[in-house]
Structure 1
Amino acid sequence: MTGTDIPGITRNQCVCSPPKDAEPARSQLVVDHDAHMLVEEWRLHKFQSPIELSHKDSIHHDNFEPLELHGHWDDEGTATFTNTGKTAVLRFSDRAVPYLVGGPLHHDTYLFEQLHFHWSDDDSSGCEHIFEGMAYSMEVHAVHYNEKYGDFKTAADKPDGLAVIGFFLEATDNEDNPCFSEMVKGVQKITKINNSTNIAPDCLNWIKEEAQCKGYYTYQGSLTTEPYLESVTWILYPTPIHVSRQQVAYFRELKSTVCERVNIVNNVRPIQSPPGDKKINVIYARSHKQSD
Protein backbone atom coordinates (compact mmCIF):
# COMPACT_ATOMS: atom_id res chain seq x y z
CA MET A 1 0.00 0.00 0.00
CA THR A 2 2.89 2.32 0.64
CA GLY A 3 6.39 2.81 -0.69
CA THR A 4 9.61 4.32 0.56
CA ASP A 5 11.70 5.18 -2.48
CA ILE A 6 11.33 7.84 -5.16
CA PRO A 7 12.70 6.74 -8.55
CA GLY A 8 15.92 8.51 -9.41
CA ILE A 9 16.48 9.82 -5.88
CA THR A 10 19.02 8.26 -3.55
CA ARG A 11 18.47 7.94 0.18
CA ASN A 12 21.03 10.74 0.71
CA GLN A 13 19.09 13.24 -1.35
CA CYS A 14 16.01 15.16 -0.31
CA VAL A 15 12.86 16.14 -2.15
CA CYS A 16 10.88 18.22 0.31
CA SER A 17 8.03 18.84 -2.10
CA PRO A 18 7.47 17.75 -5.71
CA PRO A 19 6.82 20.45 -8.31
CA LYS A 20 3.16 21.45 -8.31
CA ASP A 21 2.99 21.06 -12.06
CA ALA A 22 4.68 17.64 -12.11
CA GLU A 23 3.12 15.36 -14.72
CA PRO A 24 2.92 11.57 -14.72
CA ALA A 25 5.23 9.68 -17.05
CA ARG A 26 3.63 8.74 -20.37
CA SER A 27 4.17 5.07 -19.46
CA GLN A 28 1.62 5.62 -16.68
CA LEU A 29 -0.97 7.07 -19.03
CA VAL A 30 -3.73 5.35 -20.98
CA VAL A 31 -6.19 6.56 -23.60
CA ASP A 32 -9.60 7.82 -22.50
CA HIS A 33 -11.47 7.05 -25.72
CA ASP A 34 -14.47 9.16 -24.70
CA ALA A 35 -12.36 12.26 -24.09
CA HIS A 36 -9.76 11.48 -26.80
CA MET A 37 -6.85 12.21 -24.46
CA LEU A 38 -4.19 10.54 -22.34
CA VAL A 39 -4.99 10.32 -18.63
CA GLU A 40 -3.62 8.55 -15.58
CA GLU A 41 -5.00 5.02 -15.63
CA TRP A 42 -6.61 5.12 -12.20
CA ARG A 43 -8.84 8.01 -13.29
CA LEU A 44 -10.67 5.62 -15.60
CA HIS A 45 -11.50 3.22 -12.81
CA LYS A 46 -15.08 2.95 -11.57
CA PHE A 47 -14.80 1.71 -7.99
CA GLN A 48 -12.22 3.83 -6.23
CA SER A 49 -11.71 4.14 -2.46
CA PRO A 50 -12.21 5.65 0.05
CA ILE A 51 -15.94 6.33 0.06
CA GLU A 52 -18.58 7.71 2.41
CA LEU A 53 -20.59 5.08 4.28
CA SER A 54 -24.22 5.41 5.27
CA HIS A 55 -26.12 2.79 7.25
CA LYS A 56 -29.48 3.55 5.63
CA ASP A 57 -27.98 3.27 2.14
CA SER A 58 -26.25 -0.05 2.82
CA ILE A 59 -27.59 -3.51 2.00
CA HIS A 60 -28.25 -5.47 5.21
CA HIS A 61 -27.06 -9.05 4.95
CA ASP A 62 -27.27 -11.86 7.51
CA ASN A 63 -26.14 -14.83 5.45
CA PHE A 64 -22.36 -14.55 5.55
CA GLU A 65 -20.39 -17.15 7.42
CA PRO A 66 -18.69 -15.63 10.50
CA LEU A 67 -15.60 -13.60 9.67
CA GLU A 68 -12.69 -15.15 11.54
CA LEU A 69 -9.38 -13.51 12.46
CA HIS A 70 -6.62 -15.96 13.39
CA GLY A 71 -3.24 -15.19 14.93
CA HIS A 72 -3.43 -11.40 14.95
CA TRP A 73 -3.02 -11.20 18.75
CA ASP A 74 -0.37 -13.93 19.17
CA ASP A 75 2.44 -13.11 21.59
CA GLU A 76 5.28 -14.63 19.60
CA GLY A 77 7.75 -13.81 16.85
CA THR A 78 8.91 -10.32 15.87
CA ALA A 79 6.83 -7.21 15.21
CA THR A 80 8.70 -4.49 13.29
CA PHE A 81 7.46 -0.89 13.05
CA THR A 82 8.91 1.25 10.22
CA ASN A 83 8.67 4.87 9.08
CA THR A 84 8.43 4.59 5.27
CA GLY A 85 8.29 8.35 4.74
CA LYS A 86 4.60 8.03 3.88
CA THR A 87 3.21 6.23 6.93
CA ALA A 88 4.11 3.93 9.83
CA VAL A 89 4.00 0.25 8.83
CA LEU A 90 3.86 -2.83 11.06
CA ARG A 91 5.03 -6.24 9.81
CA PHE A 92 5.41 -9.62 11.51
CA SER A 93 8.14 -12.24 11.11
CA ASP A 94 9.28 -15.47 12.78
CA ARG A 95 5.72 -16.52 13.54
CA ALA A 96 2.72 -18.17 11.95
CA VAL A 97 1.19 -15.63 9.55
CA PRO A 98 -2.13 -14.20 10.81
CA TYR A 99 -5.01 -14.83 8.42
CA LEU A 100 -8.66 -14.08 7.63
CA VAL A 101 -11.40 -16.46 6.50
CA GLY A 102 -15.18 -16.30 6.16
CA GLY A 103 -17.50 -13.35 5.89
CA PRO A 104 -17.36 -11.64 2.47
CA LEU A 105 -14.15 -13.58 1.72
CA HIS A 106 -16.17 -16.79 1.34
CA HIS A 107 -13.89 -19.83 1.01
CA ASP A 108 -10.60 -18.04 0.37
CA THR A 109 -7.89 -17.46 2.98
CA TYR A 110 -6.21 -14.06 3.19
CA LEU A 111 -2.76 -13.74 4.79
CA PHE A 112 -1.57 -10.72 6.76
CA GLU A 113 0.89 -8.52 4.85
CA GLN A 114 1.14 -5.32 6.91
CA LEU A 115 -0.74 -2.76 8.96
CA HIS A 116 -0.40 1.01 8.45
CA PHE A 117 -1.92 4.31 9.56
CA HIS A 118 -3.49 7.40 7.98
CA TRP A 119 -3.68 10.79 9.70
CA SER A 120 -3.80 14.52 8.97
CA ASP A 121 -2.64 17.76 10.59
CA ASP A 122 -5.63 17.85 12.96
CA ASP A 123 -7.78 15.45 14.95
CA SER A 124 -10.94 15.92 12.91
CA SER A 125 -9.86 14.86 9.41
CA GLY A 126 -7.32 12.05 9.67
CA CYS A 127 -9.44 9.18 8.40
CA GLU A 128 -10.03 8.18 4.78
CA HIS A 129 -13.51 6.65 4.86
CA ILE A 130 -16.34 8.77 6.24
CA PHE A 131 -19.12 7.12 8.27
CA GLU A 132 -22.49 8.88 8.62
CA GLY A 133 -20.84 12.21 7.80
CA MET A 134 -18.31 11.79 10.62
CA ALA A 135 -14.56 12.08 10.12
CA TYR A 136 -12.27 10.64 12.79
CA SER A 137 -8.69 11.36 13.88
CA MET A 138 -6.97 8.41 12.22
CA GLU A 139 -7.70 5.29 10.19
CA VAL A 140 -5.71 2.07 10.38
CA HIS A 141 -5.61 -0.56 7.63
CA ALA A 142 -4.64 -4.20 8.15
CA VAL A 143 -3.72 -5.42 4.66
CA HIS A 144 -4.11 -9.08 3.68
CA TYR A 145 -3.59 -10.89 0.37
CA ASN A 146 -5.32 -13.93 -1.08
CA GLU A 147 -3.27 -17.00 -0.28
CA LYS A 148 -4.01 -18.64 -3.63
CA TYR A 149 -1.82 -16.07 -5.43
CA GLY A 150 1.26 -16.92 -3.40
CA ASP A 151 2.43 -13.43 -2.45
CA PHE A 152 1.23 -9.85 -2.09
CA LYS A 153 2.78 -8.56 -5.32
CA THR A 154 1.06 -11.21 -7.44
CA ALA A 155 -2.28 -10.74 -5.67
CA ALA A 156 -2.29 -6.92 -5.75
CA ASP A 157 -3.87 -6.51 -9.19
CA LYS A 158 -6.37 -9.38 -9.00
CA PRO A 159 -10.06 -8.53 -8.43
CA ASP A 160 -10.11 -10.82 -5.37
CA GLY A 161 -6.47 -10.24 -4.50
CA LEU A 162 -6.62 -8.17 -1.33
CA ALA A 163 -8.69 -7.78 1.82
CA VAL A 164 -8.22 -4.75 4.05
CA ILE A 165 -9.66 -4.41 7.54
CA GLY A 166 -10.18 -0.79 8.54
CA PHE A 167 -10.61 0.76 11.99
CA PHE A 168 -11.30 4.38 12.99
CA LEU A 169 -9.36 6.03 15.83
CA GLU A 170 -10.91 8.96 17.68
CA ALA A 171 -8.72 11.30 19.72
CA THR A 172 -10.11 12.31 23.10
CA ASP A 173 -8.67 15.05 25.29
CA ASN A 174 -6.27 13.52 27.79
CA GLU A 175 -7.01 9.85 28.28
CA ASP A 176 -4.33 7.57 26.83
CA ASN A 177 -5.45 4.18 25.57
CA PRO A 178 -3.11 1.83 27.49
CA CYS A 179 -3.54 -0.93 24.90
CA PHE A 180 -2.32 1.49 22.20
CA SER A 181 0.78 2.47 24.19
CA GLU A 182 3.00 -0.15 22.54
CA MET A 183 2.33 1.40 19.13
CA VAL A 184 3.03 4.87 20.53
CA LYS A 185 6.31 3.81 22.11
CA GLY A 186 7.30 2.35 18.76
CA VAL A 187 6.39 5.43 16.71
CA GLN A 188 8.51 7.63 18.99
CA LYS A 189 11.56 5.54 18.03
CA ILE A 190 11.08 5.83 14.25
CA THR A 191 10.89 9.59 13.80
CA LYS A 192 13.50 9.55 11.01
CA ILE A 193 12.57 8.23 7.57
CA ASN A 194 13.43 4.54 6.99
CA ASN A 195 13.97 3.95 10.72
CA SER A 196 12.59 0.72 12.21
CA THR A 197 12.14 -0.67 15.70
CA ASN A 198 10.82 -3.89 17.20
CA ILE A 199 7.80 -3.74 19.49
CA ALA A 200 5.88 -6.34 21.49
CA PRO A 201 4.51 -9.06 19.17
CA ASP A 202 1.02 -8.83 20.73
CA CYS A 203 0.89 -5.13 19.80
CA LEU A 204 -2.49 -5.43 18.03
CA ASN A 205 -4.48 -6.17 21.18
CA TRP A 206 -5.93 -2.65 20.97
CA ILE A 207 -8.11 -3.67 17.99
CA LYS A 208 -9.15 -7.04 19.42
CA GLU A 209 -12.30 -5.87 21.20
CA GLU A 210 -13.69 -4.06 18.16
CA ALA A 211 -12.79 -6.98 15.88
CA GLN A 212 -15.00 -9.23 18.00
CA CYS A 213 -18.07 -6.99 17.83
CA LYS A 214 -21.12 -7.59 15.68
CA GLY A 215 -21.57 -5.63 12.50
CA TYR A 216 -19.18 -4.41 9.82
CA TYR A 217 -19.44 -2.78 6.41
CA THR A 218 -17.93 -4.34 3.31
CA TYR A 219 -17.62 -3.32 -0.33
CA GLN A 220 -15.40 -3.88 -3.37
CA GLY A 221 -13.02 -0.97 -3.90
CA SER A 222 -9.44 0.03 -4.50
CA LEU A 223 -6.15 0.75 -2.84
CA THR A 224 -6.05 4.31 -1.49
CA THR A 225 -2.42 4.72 -2.53
CA GLU A 226 -0.89 4.50 -5.99
CA PRO A 227 -1.49 2.65 -8.25
CA TYR A 228 -5.09 2.62 -6.88
CA LEU A 229 -5.73 -0.95 -8.07
CA GLU A 230 -9.33 -2.10 -7.75
CA SER A 231 -8.51 -5.32 -5.98
CA VAL A 232 -9.67 -4.72 -2.41
CA THR A 233 -12.47 -6.27 -0.39
CA TRP A 234 -12.91 -3.61 2.28
CA ILE A 235 -14.09 -4.62 5.76
CA LEU A 236 -14.76 -1.57 7.94
CA TYR A 237 -15.76 -1.40 11.59
CA PRO A 238 -17.89 1.69 12.36
CA THR A 239 -17.26 2.14 16.10
CA PRO A 240 -14.13 4.26 16.71
CA ILE A 241 -11.36 3.18 19.06
CA HIS A 242 -10.56 5.93 21.56
CA VAL A 243 -6.99 7.17 21.98
CA SER A 244 -5.63 10.43 23.37
CA ARG A 245 -4.77 13.54 21.38
CA GLN A 246 -1.14 13.18 22.42
CA GLN A 247 -1.01 9.58 21.18
CA VAL A 248 -2.16 10.76 17.74
CA ALA A 249 0.22 13.74 17.83
CA TYR A 250 3.27 11.47 18.00
CA PHE A 251 2.48 10.18 14.50
CA ARG A 252 2.67 13.73 13.12
CA GLU A 253 6.29 13.93 14.27
CA LEU A 254 7.38 11.30 11.75
CA LYS A 255 9.70 12.75 9.10
CA SER A 256 8.95 12.28 5.41
CA THR A 257 12.32 13.43 4.06
CA VAL A 258 15.98 12.69 4.74
CA CYS A 259 16.65 16.35 5.54
CA GLU A 260 14.03 16.07 8.34
CA ARG A 261 12.44 19.40 7.43
CA VAL A 262 9.09 17.89 6.45
CA ASN A 263 6.77 15.79 8.60
CA ILE A 264 4.10 13.33 7.50
CA VAL A 265 1.02 15.40 8.28
CA ASN A 266 -1.51 14.41 5.63
CA ASN A 267 -1.42 10.93 4.12
CA VAL A 268 -5.17 10.78 3.53
CA ARG A 269 -6.77 10.28 0.13
CA PRO A 270 -9.98 12.31 -0.39
CA ILE A 271 -13.38 10.64 -0.74
CA GLN A 272 -13.92 9.19 -4.22
CA SER A 273 -17.31 9.37 -5.93
CA PRO A 274 -18.24 6.83 -8.60
CA PRO A 275 -19.44 8.04 -12.00
CA GLY A 276 -23.14 8.83 -12.19
CA ASP A 277 -23.94 5.57 -13.96
CA LYS A 278 -22.20 3.43 -11.34
CA LYS A 279 -23.18 2.48 -7.81
CA ILE A 280 -20.95 0.91 -5.18
CA ASN A 281 -22.89 -1.65 -3.18
CA VAL A 282 -22.02 -1.40 0.49
CA ILE A 283 -23.11 -4.37 2.57
CA TYR A 284 -23.73 -4.23 6.30
CA ALA A 285 -22.99 -7.70 7.65
CA ARG A 286 -24.51 -8.52 11.01
CA SER A 287 -22.89 -11.93 11.43
CA HIS A 288 -20.78 -12.25 14.54
CA LYS A 289 -17.03 -12.30 13.97
CA GLN A 290 -14.83 -14.84 15.63
CA SER A 291 -11.13 -14.41 16.37
CA ASP A 292 -8.32 -16.06 18.22
Structure 2
Amino acid sequence: MLIIHFKRITSEWILLLFIQAVLSAEIPSSVKSQSMVSPYNYENVSAWGNLFPTCMGQQQSPIALNKDTIFYTERTPLRWIGYDNQPTEMTLGNNGHTVKLIGKWKNGNVPYISGGPLLDDYVFGQIHFHWGPNDTYGAEHTMHGFTFPLEMHMVHYKRPYGSIGNALKHVDGLAVVGILFTITNQTVVTTLDPVTDYLTYVSKPHTVSNIAPFRLSILGGIYSPMAFMSYSGSLTTPPCNEVVIWIVPIYAWPATSKQLSQLRSLQLQTHTRYNNRPLQPLNGRHVYFYKT
Protein backbone atom coordinates (compact mmCIF):
# COMPACT_ATOMS: atom_id res chain seq x y z
CA MET A 1 0.00 0.00 0.00
CA LEU A 2 2.78 2.40 0.86
CA ILE A 3 4.56 1.72 -2.42
CA ILE A 4 1.41 2.32 -4.45
CA HIS A 5 0.75 5.54 -2.52
CA PHE A 6 4.29 6.72 -3.17
CA LYS A 7 3.95 6.09 -6.91
CA ARG A 8 0.66 7.99 -7.04
CA ILE A 9 2.17 11.05 -5.37
CA THR A 10 5.21 10.88 -7.62
CA SER A 11 2.99 10.84 -10.71
CA GLU A 12 1.06 13.84 -9.44
CA TRP A 13 4.28 15.75 -8.84
CA ILE A 14 5.47 14.94 -12.35
CA LEU A 15 2.20 16.31 -13.72
CA LEU A 16 2.51 19.47 -11.61
CA LEU A 17 6.09 20.02 -12.77
CA PHE A 18 4.98 19.61 -16.38
CA ILE A 19 2.18 22.17 -15.92
CA GLN A 20 4.60 24.56 -14.23
CA ALA A 21 7.04 24.23 -17.13
CA VAL A 22 4.28 25.02 -19.63
CA LEU A 23 3.13 28.06 -17.66
CA SER A 24 6.70 29.28 -17.25
CA ALA A 25 7.07 29.31 -21.02
CA GLU A 26 4.45 32.06 -21.14
CA ILE A 27 6.50 34.40 -18.94
CA PRO A 28 8.46 37.03 -20.92
CA SER A 29 12.15 36.18 -21.08
CA SER A 30 13.11 39.64 -19.83
CA VAL A 31 11.59 38.99 -16.40
CA LYS A 32 11.93 35.65 -14.64
CA SER A 33 10.89 34.55 -11.16
CA GLN A 34 12.95 32.41 -8.83
CA SER A 35 11.38 30.42 -6.00
CA MET A 36 14.38 29.95 -3.71
CA VAL A 37 13.73 31.13 -0.15
CA SER A 38 16.75 31.95 2.01
CA PRO A 39 16.77 30.93 5.69
CA TYR A 40 18.01 34.26 7.11
CA ASN A 41 16.66 37.77 7.52
CA TYR A 42 17.68 41.19 8.85
CA GLU A 43 15.10 41.31 11.63
CA ASN A 44 17.03 38.83 13.77
CA VAL A 45 20.67 39.14 12.76
CA SER A 46 21.86 37.83 16.13
CA ALA A 47 20.37 34.44 15.23
CA TRP A 48 22.47 33.98 12.09
CA GLY A 49 25.09 32.05 14.02
CA ASN A 50 22.58 29.36 14.95
CA LEU A 51 22.38 28.19 11.35
CA PHE A 52 25.71 29.55 10.11
CA PRO A 53 28.39 29.16 12.84
CA THR A 54 30.98 31.17 10.90
CA CYS A 55 28.81 34.26 11.45
CA MET A 56 30.11 34.13 15.05
CA GLY A 57 33.74 34.03 13.89
CA GLN A 58 36.60 36.32 14.84
CA GLN A 59 37.09 38.03 11.46
CA GLN A 60 33.59 39.21 10.64
CA SER A 61 32.45 42.21 8.59
CA PRO A 62 31.48 45.01 8.49
CA ILE A 63 33.62 46.98 10.95
CA ALA A 64 34.10 50.59 12.02
CA LEU A 65 36.98 52.14 10.07
CA ASN A 66 38.72 54.74 12.23
CA LYS A 67 41.84 56.80 11.58
CA ASP A 68 43.05 56.19 15.14
CA THR A 69 43.36 52.43 14.64
CA ILE A 70 44.89 52.15 11.16
CA PHE A 71 48.37 51.32 9.90
CA TYR A 72 49.77 53.42 7.07
CA THR A 73 51.36 51.54 4.19
CA GLU A 74 52.67 52.21 0.70
CA ARG A 75 52.29 49.69 -2.11
CA THR A 76 51.46 49.81 -5.78
CA PRO A 77 48.17 51.63 -6.50
CA LEU A 78 44.97 49.68 -6.93
CA ARG A 79 44.53 49.12 -10.67
CA TRP A 80 41.22 48.73 -12.50
CA ILE A 81 41.67 46.82 -15.77
CA GLY A 82 38.96 46.34 -18.37
CA TYR A 83 36.24 48.29 -16.60
CA ASP A 84 35.67 50.23 -19.81
CA ASN A 85 34.97 47.01 -21.73
CA GLN A 86 31.41 46.69 -23.02
CA PRO A 87 29.62 43.57 -21.69
CA THR A 88 27.57 41.44 -24.07
CA GLU A 89 24.81 40.80 -21.52
CA MET A 90 23.75 42.17 -18.16
CA THR A 91 21.12 41.06 -15.65
CA LEU A 92 19.66 42.65 -12.55
CA GLY A 93 18.10 40.47 -9.87
CA ASN A 94 16.24 40.78 -6.57
CA ASN A 95 17.20 37.76 -4.45
CA GLY A 96 15.00 38.79 -1.54
CA HIS A 97 17.89 40.35 0.36
CA THR A 98 19.44 42.78 -2.11
CA VAL A 99 19.59 43.73 -5.77
CA LYS A 100 22.45 42.12 -7.70
CA LEU A 101 24.08 43.08 -11.01
CA ILE A 102 25.83 40.45 -13.15
CA GLY A 103 27.46 40.85 -16.56
CA LYS A 104 28.92 38.72 -19.33
CA TRP A 105 31.92 39.69 -21.45
CA LYS A 106 33.72 38.16 -24.39
CA ASN A 107 36.61 35.87 -23.46
CA GLY A 108 39.50 37.86 -22.04
CA ASN A 109 37.47 41.03 -21.58
CA VAL A 110 36.14 40.45 -18.06
CA PRO A 111 37.19 43.38 -15.82
CA TYR A 112 39.57 42.74 -12.94
CA ILE A 113 41.54 44.54 -10.24
CA SER A 114 45.10 44.13 -9.02
CA GLY A 115 47.70 45.94 -6.95
CA GLY A 116 47.25 47.54 -3.56
CA PRO A 117 46.75 44.77 -0.98
CA LEU A 118 46.17 42.14 -3.69
CA LEU A 119 48.90 39.65 -4.59
CA ASP A 120 47.09 38.38 -7.69
CA ASP A 121 44.42 39.44 -10.18
CA TYR A 122 40.85 39.45 -8.88
CA VAL A 123 38.17 39.05 -11.54
CA PHE A 124 34.84 40.89 -11.41
CA GLY A 125 31.94 38.69 -10.33
CA GLN A 126 28.96 40.83 -9.32
CA ILE A 127 27.73 44.03 -7.70
CA HIS A 128 25.12 44.31 -4.96
CA PHE A 129 23.90 46.97 -2.55
CA HIS A 130 23.13 47.52 1.14
CA TRP A 131 20.91 50.35 2.35
CA GLY A 132 19.00 51.54 5.40
CA PRO A 133 15.54 52.83 6.32
CA ASN A 134 16.47 56.50 5.81
CA ASP A 135 18.99 58.80 4.12
CA THR A 136 21.43 58.91 7.05
CA TYR A 137 22.10 55.26 7.83
CA GLY A 138 22.33 52.06 5.82
CA ALA A 139 25.90 51.48 4.62
CA GLU A 140 27.49 48.57 6.45
CA HIS A 141 30.92 50.08 7.14
CA THR A 142 31.35 53.37 8.98
CA MET A 143 34.21 55.80 8.32
CA HIS A 144 35.75 57.85 11.16
CA GLY A 145 32.50 57.59 13.10
CA PHE A 146 30.31 58.74 10.22
CA THR A 147 27.45 56.68 8.83
CA PHE A 148 26.30 56.62 5.21
CA PRO A 149 22.96 55.71 3.60
CA LEU A 150 24.22 53.26 0.96
CA GLU A 151 27.09 50.88 0.25
CA MET A 152 27.86 49.20 -3.06
CA HIS A 153 29.84 45.96 -2.97
CA MET A 154 31.90 45.13 -6.06
CA VAL A 155 32.72 41.45 -5.61
CA HIS A 156 35.83 39.97 -7.26
CA TYR A 157 37.29 36.46 -7.06
CA LYS A 158 40.94 35.45 -7.24
CA ARG A 159 41.66 34.44 -10.82
CA PRO A 160 43.21 30.99 -10.14
CA TYR A 161 40.03 29.92 -8.31
CA GLY A 162 37.88 30.42 -11.41
CA SER A 163 34.59 31.44 -9.77
CA ILE A 164 33.06 33.01 -6.69
CA GLY A 165 31.84 29.59 -5.57
CA ASN A 166 35.32 28.08 -5.60
CA ALA A 167 36.84 31.23 -4.10
CA LEU A 168 34.63 30.83 -1.01
CA LYS A 169 36.77 27.83 -0.05
CA HIS A 170 39.97 29.88 0.26
CA VAL A 171 41.02 32.46 2.84
CA ASP A 172 42.17 34.85 0.08
CA GLY A 173 39.31 33.99 -2.25
CA LEU A 174 37.50 37.31 -2.64
CA ALA A 175 38.32 40.99 -2.90
CA VAL A 176 35.32 43.24 -2.29
CA VAL A 177 35.43 46.96 -2.97
CA GLY A 178 32.92 48.64 -0.67
CA ILE A 179 31.85 52.02 -2.07
CA LEU A 180 30.13 54.35 0.40
CA PHE A 181 27.53 56.83 -0.85
CA THR A 182 26.40 60.15 0.53
CA ILE A 183 23.29 62.13 -0.38
CA THR A 184 23.83 65.03 -2.77
CA ASN A 185 21.61 68.03 -3.39
CA GLN A 186 22.27 67.85 -7.12
CA THR A 187 19.16 67.14 -9.13
CA VAL A 188 20.89 64.95 -11.71
CA VAL A 189 23.36 62.22 -10.79
CA THR A 190 24.11 59.50 -13.34
CA THR A 191 26.39 57.27 -11.24
CA LEU A 192 23.64 54.85 -10.23
CA ASP A 193 21.12 55.58 -12.97
CA PRO A 194 22.07 52.51 -15.08
CA VAL A 195 20.95 50.39 -12.12
CA THR A 196 18.12 52.36 -10.51
CA ASP A 197 16.40 52.94 -13.87
CA TYR A 198 15.60 49.21 -13.98
CA LEU A 199 14.61 48.56 -10.37
CA THR A 200 10.91 48.48 -11.22
CA TYR A 201 11.56 45.31 -13.24
CA VAL A 202 12.79 43.49 -10.12
CA SER A 203 10.56 45.05 -7.49
CA LYS A 204 9.43 41.67 -6.13
CA PRO A 205 11.64 39.08 -4.40
CA HIS A 206 13.27 36.41 -6.56
CA THR A 207 12.88 38.16 -9.89
CA VAL A 208 15.56 38.65 -12.54
CA SER A 209 15.52 40.94 -15.57
CA ASN A 210 17.78 41.48 -18.54
CA ILE A 211 18.87 45.11 -18.75
CA ALA A 212 20.75 47.22 -21.28
CA PRO A 213 24.46 46.34 -20.88
CA PHE A 214 26.72 49.19 -19.80
CA ARG A 215 30.42 49.63 -19.10
CA LEU A 216 31.11 49.36 -15.38
CA SER A 217 33.25 52.50 -15.61
CA ILE A 218 29.97 54.42 -15.96
CA LEU A 219 29.39 53.80 -12.26
CA GLY A 220 32.02 56.48 -11.76
CA GLY A 221 35.12 57.13 -9.74
CA ILE A 222 36.97 53.88 -10.26
CA TYR A 223 39.71 55.33 -12.46
CA SER A 224 40.45 58.22 -10.12
CA PRO A 225 43.42 57.95 -7.76
CA MET A 226 41.89 56.20 -4.80
CA ALA A 227 42.94 56.32 -1.17
CA PHE A 228 41.37 53.45 0.71
CA MET A 229 41.43 51.25 3.79
CA SER A 230 41.87 47.50 3.66
CA TYR A 231 41.48 44.63 6.11
CA SER A 232 40.77 40.90 6.22
CA GLY A 233 37.13 40.09 6.86
CA SER A 234 34.08 38.17 5.78
CA LEU A 235 30.94 38.16 3.72
CA THR A 236 28.38 40.39 5.44
CA THR A 237 25.63 37.85 4.75
CA PRO A 238 25.38 34.17 5.69
CA PRO A 239 27.27 31.93 5.51
CA CYS A 240 29.69 34.75 6.50
CA ASN A 241 32.80 33.05 5.02
CA GLU A 242 35.97 34.71 6.31
CA VAL A 243 37.57 34.87 2.87
CA VAL A 244 37.39 38.57 1.94
CA ILE A 245 40.08 41.18 1.40
CA TRP A 246 38.08 44.36 1.96
CA ILE A 247 38.92 47.57 0.09
CA VAL A 248 36.93 50.61 1.23
CA PRO A 249 37.72 53.99 -0.42
CA ILE A 250 37.81 56.86 2.08
CA TYR A 251 35.74 59.20 -0.12
CA ALA A 252 32.01 58.69 -0.59
CA TRP A 253 30.32 58.83 -3.99
CA PRO A 254 27.15 60.88 -4.58
CA ALA A 255 23.62 59.50 -4.73
CA THR A 256 20.23 61.21 -4.64
CA SER A 257 17.37 60.77 -2.22
CA LYS A 258 15.31 59.54 -5.17
CA GLN A 259 17.76 56.74 -5.87
CA LEU A 260 17.75 55.68 -2.22
CA SER A 261 13.96 55.76 -2.24
CA GLN A 262 13.94 53.53 -5.32
CA LEU A 263 16.09 50.96 -3.53
CA ARG A 264 13.95 51.08 -0.40
CA SER A 265 10.85 50.53 -2.53
CA LEU A 266 12.08 47.05 -3.48
CA GLN A 267 10.14 44.26 -1.83
CA LEU A 268 12.56 42.20 0.23
CA GLN A 269 11.86 38.73 1.53
CA THR A 270 10.95 39.88 5.06
CA HIS A 271 9.30 43.13 3.92
CA THR A 272 11.95 45.28 5.60
CA ARG A 273 13.21 48.56 4.14
CA TYR A 274 16.83 47.83 5.00
CA ASN A 275 19.45 45.12 4.48
CA ASN A 276 22.54 46.19 6.41
CA ARG A 277 24.37 44.05 8.96
CA PRO A 278 25.43 45.72 12.25
CA LEU A 279 29.10 46.45 12.93
CA GLN A 280 31.23 43.52 14.08
CA PRO A 281 34.15 43.48 16.57
CA LEU A 282 37.62 44.18 15.19
CA ASN A 283 39.13 41.45 17.41
CA GLY A 284 42.69 42.69 17.05
CA ARG A 285 42.77 42.79 13.26
CA HIS A 286 44.93 45.35 11.48
CA VAL A 287 43.34 47.92 9.17
CA TYR A 288 45.70 49.40 6.58
CA PHE A 289 45.50 52.81 4.93
CA TYR A 290 46.70 53.07 1.32
CA LYS A 291 47.55 56.51 0.02
CA THR A 292 46.93 57.57 -3.58
TM value normalised by structure 1? 0.79
Q: Residues 127-146 of structure 1: CA distance to partner in whole angstroms, max 9, x if unpaired?
A: 00000111111000000111
Contact kept in structure 2, 1:143 and 1:164, CA below 8 Å: yes
Per the alignment, residue 91 of structure 1 pairs with: 102
Q: Residues 94-127 of structure 1: CA distance to partner in whole angstroms, max 9, x if unpaired?
A: 4322111111112x11111110000111111110
- Does the C-alpha gap of structure 1 residues 114 and 228 become closer, same or farther in structure 2, counting only changes over 3 Å? same
Aligned equivalents of 2:277, 2:42: Cα separation in 1: 17
Match 1:81 to one of 73, 88, 92:
92
Residue identity matched to 1:89: K
Alpha-carbon shift at residue 173 of structure 1 (Å) = 4.3
Contact kept in structure 2, 1:174 and 1:246, CA below 8 Å: no
Aligned equivalents of 1:169, 1:142: Cα separation in 2: 14
Alpha-carbon shift at residue 170 of structure 1 (Å) = 1.2
Say if 2:290 is the partner of 1:282. Answer: no
RMSD of aligned Cα (Å): 2.8
Contact kept in structure 2, 1:190 and 1:254, CA below 8 Å: yes
Match 2:171 to one of 159, 162, 186:
159
- Does the C-alpha gap of structure 1 residues 213 and 267 become closer, same or farther in structure 2, counting only changes over 3 Å? same
Aligned equivalents of 1:24, 1:178: Cα separation in 2: 36
Aligned equivalents of 1:19, 1:65: Cα separation in 2: 41
Determine which structure has the larger helix proportion and give its number.
Answer: 2
Residue identity matched to 2:71: I
Where does the alignment leave 5 or more consecutive residues of structure 1 unmatched? 9-14, 30-39
Aligned-partner SS, 1:127: coil
Aligned equivalents of 1:242, 1:204: Cα separation in 2: 16
Aligned equivalents of 2:72, 2:162: Cα separation in 1: 33
Per the alignment, residue 33 of structure 1 pairs with: none
Match 2:233 to one of 190, 214, 221:
221
Alpha-carbon shift at residue 7 of structure 1 (Å) = 6.4
Q: Which runs of 4+ in 1 moved over 6 A?
A: 17-20, 22-26
Residue pairs, 1:63-212, within 5 angstroms: 64-95=75-106, 96-106=109-119, 108-173=120-185, 175-202=187-214, 204-212=216-224
TM value normalised by structure 2? 0.79
Identical-residue share of aligned pairs (%):
29
Aligned equivalents of 1:198, 1:23: Cα separation in 2: 35
- Does the C-alpha gap of structure 1 residues 4 and 112 become closer, same or farther in structure 2, counting only changes over 3 Å? farther
Match 2:279 to one of 224, 247, 271:
271
Contact kept in structure 1, 2:174 and 2:245, CA below 8 Å: yes
Aligned equivalents of 2:223, 2:35: Cα separation in 1: 29
Residue identity matched to 2:72: H
- Does the C-alpha gap of structure 1 residues 237 and 19 become closer, same or farther in structure 2, counting only changes over 3 Å? closer
Determine which structure has the larger strand proportion and give its number.
Answer: 1
Aligned equivalents of 2:191, 2:60: Cα separation in 1: 33
Aligned-partner SS, 1:256: coil
Contact kept in structure 1, 2:198 and 2:211, CA below 8 Å: yes
- Does the C-alpha gap of structure 1 residues 198 and 73 become closer, same or farther in structure 2, counting only changes over 3 Å? farther
Aligned length: 257
Q: Residues 164-191 of structure 1: CA distance to partner in whole angstroms, max 9, x if unpaired?
A: 0010111234623123221111112211
Residue identity matched to 2:277: R
